[in-house]
Amino acid sequence: MKNYFLLAFLFVSCLISANDILGKWKTIDDETGEVKSIVEIYEKNGKYYGKVIQIMNKARQDAKCDKCTGSKKNKPVLGLEIIVDMKKDDDEFTGGKILDPESGKEYKCNISFETKNKLKVRGYIGFSLIGRTQYWHKI
């Protein structure tokens, strides 16, 4: 009986840790070190997405994604889905894209845990060596 309990505990622990990416994260500007926004990561149809739910700079509250293209052109940054189609792959999330609302550019994306409460978010063009990394902190 103890073995069944231990097996069930380990199974539940794995499920919980797989979803640790879900929730609200403070985005940190990699150039200034300041908190820029709060992004909420959620799951939809087995994939992971993230949208901006709060902008810290009061002067940018009504900012639009004026450099974006397609359906996101001139949409408010607040509420904008900036992470799309991420899939869990072992200990990281890959295969999706991330949008930089300031430049309007979209990049391939990898997300992994730096620590339990800190995400390493890497946007890149082509392959992962050429890109930019930000660290987001769990709220």
Note every long-range contact of 67-71, with CB atoms under 8 Å and residues 24 or more positions apart, other chains counting.
Answer: 67/102, 67/103, 67/104, 67/105, 68/99, 68/101, 68/104, 69/104
Instruction: Find the mean pLDDT for residues 39-48.
Output: 98
pLDDT 10s digits, 99-116 = 999 999 999 999 999 999
Sign of CA dihedral 58, 54, 102, 27: positive
pLDDT 10s digits, 73-102 = 999 999 999 999 999 999 999 999 999 999
Q: What is the C-alpha to C-alpha distance for residues 66 and 72, in angstroms, rounded to an integer?
A: 9
Q: pTM (2 decimals)?
A: 0.83
Instruction: Return the domain boundaries, the chain.
Output: 21-138
Look at residue 129 and tell me whether its pLDDT is greater than 90: no
The CA distances from residue 12 to 8, 18, 106, 112, in Å, are 6, 10, 35, 21
DSSP 45-78: TTEEEEEEEEES-GGGTT-B-TT--GGGTT-BST
Q: Which fold has domain 21-138?
A: Lipocalin (2.40.128)
Residue 30: band (very low, low, confident or very high) from pLDDT cuts 50, 70, 90? confident
For the chain, what percent of residues have pLDDT higher than 90? Answer: 78
Look at residue 31 and tell me whether its pLDDT is greater than 50: yes
Look at residue 12 and tell me whether its pLDDT is greater than 50: no
Look at residue 68 and tell me whether its pLDDT is greater than 50: yes
Closest CA to 99 of 135, 61, 73: 73
